[in-house]
């Protein structure tokens, strides 16, 4: 488009790296670990270069807690993980990448550190446990030392403290602590594999008194949700938040990362969970100053039509807002009613129930897993009111009621309020809207308290004249926002989305399942806006956090095109499994089971039984309907495993799904190739998650983090590069992915350049999605993708349908076909594949 959409700022400096800083054209995400070290990653560089990516995108590389499988539980910011090969291996990877013209992007975790076992693995936390508020690291952790009688809560015990002391499980011992060898043997408390320091001068006390005199309070693990006095990552007690807003903490926790950027070892950063920070905008500004404007993307979930705050110094998000829109554009709205009726018949839930289910789930989280956080907010608000005569009659109970309803009603991950700064209008509107919903759920008596609470949370004058600031008022503003994100993540994504089974592929991280499908015009409008607002933010279809891989979701999307046929199949599956489908199996989990099998059953049959059952147990525990992580229902889980196992071994079930796979093959091919090509060519930096260059039927982590056979992928790519015709869908997807990535690499100005643009192209049918990528308004690349193949087939295919191509000659890089511009029939363009990627001849 030649002009910026109204209300946007074209070419905002905040949305591009600083002058001369590298900009990735595309990235390939690698999940590092014991089975994929930095040296292993270096060995993949030739393949990744051949694939066409420009940057290798690494999961966290700093030293993590023992046994970590993901790296987000950092224990040492000063060291590249020895498990991955250490700094020398990172340097070798950088040299290998640079030697093939590739750069590195690094995922970092500023919000939290691990509470490892034993704790001494985290030197900073060990110091705090040893010396309390006097520790040199005391400012690192977000601890409320006024709570818990001045002791940091350590909820690690398997029973209440009295029972543990009586059983003799807690003992005084002496040990040399790794990393503290200079101190020699010191007194420690041992509880099984846990080791804790003993406060100076307390070792000679009776054990009960000794335990009571420490700077930490050993407690039963269930106490955490009610009395925890340190901020954590959501409800994960083993991840303690750090105060990166403190300049000294920022400097110490970022020194190595900044060194890597300055040395050119890495080119940019992905920031994990910025919504957990006290001041995300301030953090990003500090980071931009420290990195001289490096490319920085944020893992930020934007709810609905929410946009990034204009003052955040970031290129954009990691792409969830584009993922759900793109996926929903390849979803048939015609299937909503039939699938809704099927869901109602099996589960009792109706399509209108989603808001209620979300509210109920958020309320359960607020009252359960996040009770400690809500209690702390209430204490803050109540103490503010107690100390101001004009607010004193707003009681603790009234404030808690208002806070709970406001947290349940708030529909996004954060309100962007910084104490002492003007509030974002969008944040004021969002908070105001939530307050009105919350007010309607409370008695009229609470209305005045809600007014006071909203004023406090917005940093406005409340109570005595002129009172807008103060340590407690500022803390309330910040902590409310941090709690909003936790309520959304745990209440919506990790509870409600596991309960909602209308079409489970729509229940994705950052997704909006209330929007069953997205119109083509809406996706075009969003993409055009993204080109102006976040032209070098990330686009993605799969990440290490997605609840299902893109190919699993594509197979589920085909259910919407054949919804009547799917409903018949489900009836047949229920009849086939009636003999072993126990009454313990609830409707929601049963509906999830059949859809999970549909999403993961291919021409090769089902995925491994263990993968399916592990996923179903996790999903059931996350939904918290019949079982949960903190209180597993063994009988229910055993019944669920048995039903799934017997279904997977049932010849009749296999026959039914075999027929279904054959029936949906064309729809799956169209969705698989179409979503991938569009994702790789819409505005933004295209990311490919490891292994997804071919169809990869994965579920939620850890299933989506399994090792990838890159040798087989490299051999497949080499065969395609000899001109061999694709043999199967895996070949086709790899062809589409590699050719799109190579085209991006060869024509970066059309995709990430400062003069790049996006222009929708006219077609005579809604089954074709087409657009051009432009440079200074001149079309250079054209994407054409088929959409909703089943409906297209019912309408006699492409007969008579056309596309208006830009003038000139074009070459399809997927088929080598030469095409002339102007109004052209679609059928010849898509004779070989259901997608085409055209580049202007001569480029």
Element spanning 804, H or E: strand 802-812
Cis peptide before 702 (omega within 30 of 0): yes
Distance of CA 196 to the CA centre of its chain: 34
Cβ atoms within 10 Å, residue 718? 12
Instruction: HSE, CB side, 13 Å, CA atoms: give it for residue 759.
Output: 23
- What are the φ and ψ backbone dihedral angles of 414, each rounded to 5 degrees? -165, 145
Largest CA distance in the chain: 91
% the chain with pLDDT above 70: 98
Using only C-alpha atoms, the chain has a radius of gyration, in whole angstroms, of: 28
Is the confidence at residue 763, as pLDDT, over 80?
yes
Name beta bridge partners: 36: 33
SS3 of residue 104 by DSSP: strand
Q: Are 507 and 497 in contact (CB under 8 A)?
A: yes
Q: Are 544 and 706 in contact (CB under 8 A)?
A: no
Is the confidence at residue 6, as pLDDT, over 70?
no
CA–CA gap between residue 558 and residue 330 (Å, rounded): 9
Distance of CA 817 to the CA centre of its chain: 39
For residue range 229-285, list pLDDT tens digits in order.
Answer: 888 877 788 899 999 999 999 999 999 999 999 999 999 999 999 999 999 999 999
Q: Are 374 and 483 in contact (CB under 8 A)?
A: yes
Hey, CA dihedral for 414, 418, 419, 425, is it positive or negative?
negative
Name beta bridge partners: 295: 268
DSSP 126-176: HHHHHHGGGSTTTTTB-B-TTSGGG-EEEEEESS-HHHHHHHT-EEEEEEE
Determine the length of the chain: 843
Is the confidence at residue 5, as pLDDT, over 60?
no
Q: How far apart are the first and last CA of the chain?
A: 21
Return residue ranges of the chain for CATH 1.10.10.470: 563-663
Per the rule left: phi > 0, alpha: psi between -120 and 50, beta: everything else, 475 is alpha
For residue range 88-116, list pLDDT tens digits in order.
Answer: 999 999 999 999 999 999 999 999 999 99
Number of H helices, E strands in the chain: 29, 24
Cβ atoms within 10 Å, residue 181? 9
Q: Are 428 and 421 in contact (CB under 8 A)?
A: no
Place 148 in a pLDDT band, splitting at 50, 70 and 90.
Answer: low
Q: Are 106 and 269 in contact (CB under 8 A)?
A: yes
CA–CA gap between residue 832 and residue 726 (Å, rounded): 10
SS3 of residue 643 by DSSP: helix
Of 678, 701, 673, 704, nearest to 690 by C-alpha is: 704
**Across residues 639-664, what is the average pLDDT?**
98
Element spanning 55, H or E: strand 55-58
CA–CA gap between residue 139 and residue 133 (Å, rounded): 8
Distance of CA 401 to the CA centre of its chain: 30
Start-end of H helices in 664-709:
665-681
CA–CA gap between residue 473 and residue 455 (Å, rounded): 10
Of 211, 225, 94, nearest to 164 by C-alpha is: 211
% the chain with pLDDT above 90: 91
CA–CA gap between residue 630 and residue 163 (Å, rounded): 20
CA angle, residues 27, 31, 36, in degrees to nearest 5: 115
Cβ atoms within 10 Å, residue 329? 23
Beta strands in 652-775, from DSSP E residues, in sequence order: 685-689, 756-760, 768-775
Helix axes 371-386, 354-367, angle to 10 degrees: 70
Q: Per mean pLDDT, which range of 65-69, 595-599, 735-739, 776-780 is the poorest? A: 65-69
Beta strands in 459-516, from DSSP E residues, in sequence order: none
Of 562, 526, 120, nearest to 329 by C-alpha is: 526
Question: For strand 316-317 and strand 295-298, is the pairing parallel, antiparallel, or unpaired?
Answer: parallel
Distances (CA, A) of 336 to 21, 557, 598: 46, 11, 17
Is the confidence at residue 520, as pLDDT, over 60?
yes
CA–CA gap between residue 109 and residue 272 (Å, rounded): 5
**Across residues 617-622, what is the average pLDDT?**
98
Q: Given this model, what pLDDT does residue 9 score?
A: 34
Q: Given this model, what pLDDT does residue 1 score?
A: 34
Return residue ranges of the chain for CATH 3.20.20.80: 22-111+244-311
Q: Are 62 and 93 in contact (CB under 8 A)?
A: no
Place 356 in a pLDDT band, splitting at 50, 70 and 90.
Answer: very high
Question: For strand 170-176 and strand 835-840, is the pairing parallel, antiparallel, or unpaired?
Answer: unpaired
Q: Given this model, what pLDDT does residue 2 score?
A: 36
Q: Are 489 and 470 in contact (CB under 8 A)?
A: no
**Across residues 14-21, what is the average pLDDT?**
92
Distance of CA 507 to the CA centre of its chain: 12
Element spanning 721, H or E: helix 710-721
SS3 of residue 626 by DSSP: coil
Of 593, 598, 689, 582, nearest to 639 by C-alpha is: 582
Topology of domain 22-111+244-311, CATH: TIM Barrel (3.20.20)
CA–CA gap between residue 562 and residue 408 (Å, rounded): 36
Q: Given this model, what pLDDT does residue 430 score?
A: 93
Residues 6+ away with beta carbon under 8 Å from 135? 127, 128
CA–CA gap between residue 249 and residue 110 (Å, rounded): 10
CA–CA gap between residue 295 and residue 147 (Å, rounded): 40
Average pLDDT, the chain: 95
SS3 of residue 483 by DSSP: helix
Q: Are 505 and 335 in contact (CB under 8 A)?
A: no
pTM for the model stands at 0.95
Is the confidence at residue 539, as pLDDT, over 60?
yes
Place 226 in a pLDDT band, splitting at 50, 70 and 90.
Answer: confident
Residues 6+ away with beta carbon under 8 Å from 512? 303, 304, 324, 328, 506
Q: Are 804 and 838 in contact (CB under 8 A)?
A: no
Is the confidence at residue 387, as pLDDT, over 60?
yes
Residues 6+ away with beta carbon under 8 Å from 603? 661, 662, 665
What's the CATH architecture for 119-241? 2-Layer Sandwich (3.30)
Return residue ranges of the chain for CATH 3.30.1590.10: 119-241
Of 80, 96, 78, 77, nearest to 39 by C-alpha is: 96
Cβ atoms within 10 Å, residue 94? 22
Domain 563-663: CATH superfamily is: Maltooligosyl trehalose synthase; domain 4 (1.10.10.470)
Q: Are 668 and 729 in contact (CB under 8 A)?
A: yes
């Amino acid at each position: 488009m030649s002009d910026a959409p109204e209300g946007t700022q074209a070419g905002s400096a905040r949305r591009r790296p600083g002058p001369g800083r590298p900009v990735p054209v595309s990235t390939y995400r690698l999940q590092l670990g014991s089975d994929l070290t930095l040296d292993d990653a270096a060995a993949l560089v030739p393949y990744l270069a051949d694939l066409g990516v420009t940057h290798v995108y690494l999961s966290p590389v700093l030293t993590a807690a023992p046994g970590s499988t993901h790296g987000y539980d950092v224990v040492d910011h000063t060291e590249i993980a020895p498990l991955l090969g250490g700094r020398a291996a990172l340097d070798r990877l950088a040299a290998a990448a640079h030697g093939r013209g590739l750069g590195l992007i690094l995922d970092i975790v500023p919000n939290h550190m691990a509470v490892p076992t034993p704790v001494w693995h985290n030197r900073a936390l060990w110091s705090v446990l040893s010396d309390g508020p006097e520790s040199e690291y005391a400012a690192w952790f977000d601890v409320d030392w006024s709570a818990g009688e001045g002791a940091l809560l350590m909820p690690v015990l398997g029973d209440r403290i009295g029972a543990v002391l009586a059983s003799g499980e807690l003992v005084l011992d002496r040990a040399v602590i790794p990393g503290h060898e200079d101190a020699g043997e010191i007194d420690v408390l041992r509880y099984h594999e846990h080791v804790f320091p003993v406060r100076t001068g307390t070792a000679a006390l009776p054990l009960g008194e000794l335990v009571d005199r420490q700077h930490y309070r050993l407690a039963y693990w269930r106490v955490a949700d009610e009395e925890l006095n340190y901020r954590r990552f959501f409800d994960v007690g083993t991840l303690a938040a750090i105060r990166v807003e403190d300049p000294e903490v920022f400097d110490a926790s970022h020194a190595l990362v900044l060194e890597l950027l300055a040395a050119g070892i890495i080119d940019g950063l992905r920031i994990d969970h910025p919504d957990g920070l006290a001041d995300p905008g301030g953090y990003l500004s500090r980071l931009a100053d420290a990195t001289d404007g490096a490319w920085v993307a944020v893992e930020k979930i934007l709810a609905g039509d929410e946009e990034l705050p204009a003052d955040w110094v970031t290129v954009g998000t990691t792409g969830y807002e584009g993922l759900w829109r793109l996926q929903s554009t390849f979803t048939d709205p015609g299937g909503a009613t039939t699938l809704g009726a099927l869901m109602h018949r099996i589960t009792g839930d109706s399509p209108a129930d989603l808001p209620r289910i979300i509210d109920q789930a958020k309320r359960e989280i607020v009252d359960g897993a996040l009770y400690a956080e809500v209690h702390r907010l209430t204490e803050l608000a109540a103490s503010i009111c107690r100390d101001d005569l004009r607010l004193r009659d707003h009681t603790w109970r009234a404030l808690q009621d208002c806070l709970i309803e406001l947290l349940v009603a708030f529909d996004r991950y954060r309100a962007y309020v910084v104490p002492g700064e003007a509030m974002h209008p969008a944040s004021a509107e969002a908070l105001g809207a939530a307050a009105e919903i919350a007010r309607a759920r409370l008695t009229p008596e609470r209305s005045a308290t809600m007014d006071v609470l909203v004023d406090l949370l917005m940093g406005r004058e409340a109570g005595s004249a002129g009172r807008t600031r103060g340590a407690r008022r500022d803390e309330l503003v910040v902590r409310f926002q941090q709690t909003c994100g936790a309520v959304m993540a745990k209440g919506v994504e990790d509870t409600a989305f596991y309960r909602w089974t209308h079409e489970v592929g729509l229940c994705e991280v950052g997704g909006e399942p209330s929007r069953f499908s997205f119109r083509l015009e809406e996706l075009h409008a969003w993409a055009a806006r993204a080109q102006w607002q976040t032209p070098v933010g990330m686009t993605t279809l799969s990440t290490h956090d997605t609840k299902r891989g893109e190919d699993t979701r594509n197979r589920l999307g085909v259910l919407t095109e054949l919804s009547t046929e799917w409903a018949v199949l489900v009836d047949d599956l229920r009849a086939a499994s009636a003999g072993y489908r126990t009454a313990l199996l609830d409707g929601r989990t049963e509906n999830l089971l059949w859809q999970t099998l549909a999403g993961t059953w291919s021409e090769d049959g089902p995925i491994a039984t263990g993968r399916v059952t592990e996923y179903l147990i996790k999903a059931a525990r996350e939904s918290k309907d019949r079982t949960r992580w903190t209180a597993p229902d063994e009988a229910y889980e055993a019944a669920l495993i048995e039903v799934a196992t017997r279904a997977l071994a049932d010849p009749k079930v296999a026959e039914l799904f075999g027929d279904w796979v054959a029936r949906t093959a064309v729809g799956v091919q169209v969705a698989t190739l179409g979503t991938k090509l569009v994702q790789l060519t819409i505005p933004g930096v295209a990311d490919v998650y490891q292994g997804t260059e071919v169809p990869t039927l994965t579920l939620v982590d850890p299933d989506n983090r399994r090792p990838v056979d890159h040798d087989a992928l490299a051999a497949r790519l080499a065969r395609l590069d000899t001109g061999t015709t694709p043999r199967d869908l895996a070949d086709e997807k790899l062809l589409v992915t590699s050719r799109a990535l190579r085209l991006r690499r060869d024509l970066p100005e059309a995709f990430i350049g400062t003069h790049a643009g996006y222009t929708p192209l006219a077609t005579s049918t809604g089954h074709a999605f087409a657009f051009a990528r432009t440079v200074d308004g001149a079309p250079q690349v054209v994407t054409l993708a088929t959409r909703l193949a089943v409906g297209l087939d019912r309408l006699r295919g492409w007969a008579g349908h056309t596309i208006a191509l830009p003038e000139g000659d074009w070459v399809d890089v997927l088929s080598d076909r030469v095409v002339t511009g102007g109004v052209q029939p679609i059928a010849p363009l898509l004779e070989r594949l259901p997608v085409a990627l055209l580049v202007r001849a001569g480029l």
